[in-house]
């Protein structure tokens, strides 16, 4: 598979997670369910979520608009490596803090691992 095709899949992955995170207010009934915590914690959680949405959209756009630069420059490859590590960390901490035995949680774990593999794959093409 070409780097451009892999980066298109990376973009789709990112856009999917952006949409998923935009749904958190409804999915988790925010801010009602956050009332049991402090105002700063409520704010931090929601702000961090908005920022993650922006990161996922931004990375997705970079993957679609600059595939050659991402796959072919040191800076682009560093960004891809950073995103692979981002998804690897997300995969690992899933098992540290979200110890829920549910099929949807397991599906998310698979998607986190997939993100790590997708972003790492272009780094190994052509070697």
Contact 70/77 with Cβ under 8 angstroms? yes
pLDDT tens digit sequence for 9-47: 999 999 999 999 999 999 999 999 999 999 999 999 999
Task: Tell whether the model's pLDDT for residue 126 goes beyond 90.
Answer: no
Is cis: bond before 94, omega within 30 of 0?
no
pTM of the model: 0.93
38, with CB counted inside 10 A (0-12, 13-18, 19+), is: exposed
Task: Tell whether the model's pLDDT for residue 106 goes beyond 80.
Answer: yes
Local confidence band at 127 (pLDDT 50, 70, 90 cut-offs): low
Contacts of 85 (CB under 8 A, 6+ apart): 116
Classify residue 114 by its DSSP letter.
H
Domain limits, the chain = 3-124
């Amino acid at each position: 598979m070409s780097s451009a095709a892999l980066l298109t899949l990376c973009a789709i992955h990112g856009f999917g997670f952006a949409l998923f995170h935009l749904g958190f207010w409804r999915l988790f009934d925010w801010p009602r369910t956050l009332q049991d915590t402090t105002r700063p914690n409520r704010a931090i959680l929601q702000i961090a979520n908005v920022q993650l949405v922006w990161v996922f959209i931004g990375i997705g756009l970079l993957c679609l608009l600059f595939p050659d630069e991402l796959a072919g420059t040191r800076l682009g490859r560093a960004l891809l490596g950073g995103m692979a590590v981002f998804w690897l960390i997300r995969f690992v901490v899933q098992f540290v803090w979200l110890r829920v035995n549910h099929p949807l949680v397991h599906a998310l774990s698979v998607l986190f691992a997939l993100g790590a593999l997708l972003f790492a794959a272009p780094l190994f093409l052509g070697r």
